[in-house]
Structure 1
Amino acid sequence: MVDITKLIEVIVKPMCSHPESIQIKQHESDKFIEFDLKLDPDDVGRIIGRQGRVVQSIRNIVYAAKADYNKRVRLNII
């Protein structure tokens, strides 16, 4: 089984100027397994990217790696 939390951390950490402030929390709802990514305010713009392109690429990778879950995976940036 793929550890989605570790995958998100490996992708996001090199792009952040404050990697020590990364926090990832997992929780489940009826239809989703949600991962909340909390970052330093200086790094949020880097992760979102222009017109959301960077975060969309990260989400595509995370959603493709969800093979062992019966629920959909959602990545939220807080």
Structure 2
Amino acid sequence: MARSELGELMYVIGKALVDLPDQVEVTEIVGEQTLVIELKVAKEDLGKIIGKQGRTARALRTILNGASTKLRRRTVLEIIE
């Protein structure tokens, strides 16, 4: 299944933030009104994606919500080890 623009955005940003970019995976779960994007990274890179006090994760979610506004669809980012 092809990734949506939002999934591709999270994939590119996720790869840029980690030390092991080949282990970044993005899965999308499409609901009626919600799109769940699961960002899976290596265990060693989990801290880089979450950031200090969750700041990086919050920034990723903010970017995702801003980008999804034009699609008029609610998006949720789940970070998975």
TM-score, length-scaled by structure 1: 0.88
Higher relative contact order (CA 8 A, sep 6+): 1
Moved more, 41-50 or 23-32: 23-32
Task: Write 1 or 2 for the structure with the bigger share of helix.
Answer: 2
Segments of 4+ moved more than 6 angstroms: none
Structure 1 residues without counterparts, runs of 5 or longer: none
Map of 1:46-57 to 2, 5 A cutoff?
46-57=48-59
Root mean square deviation, CA, Å: 1.5
Aligned to 1:40: 42
Aligned to 1:71: 73
Matched to 1:23, the amino acid is E
Count matched residues. 77
Per-residue CA deviations over 1:18-68 (Å, capped at 9, x if unaligned) read 100011000123542100111100000001001100010011001100134
TM-score, length-scaled by structure 2: 0.85
| Pairing 1:61–2:50 present | no
Structure 2 residues without counterparts, runs of 5 or longer: none
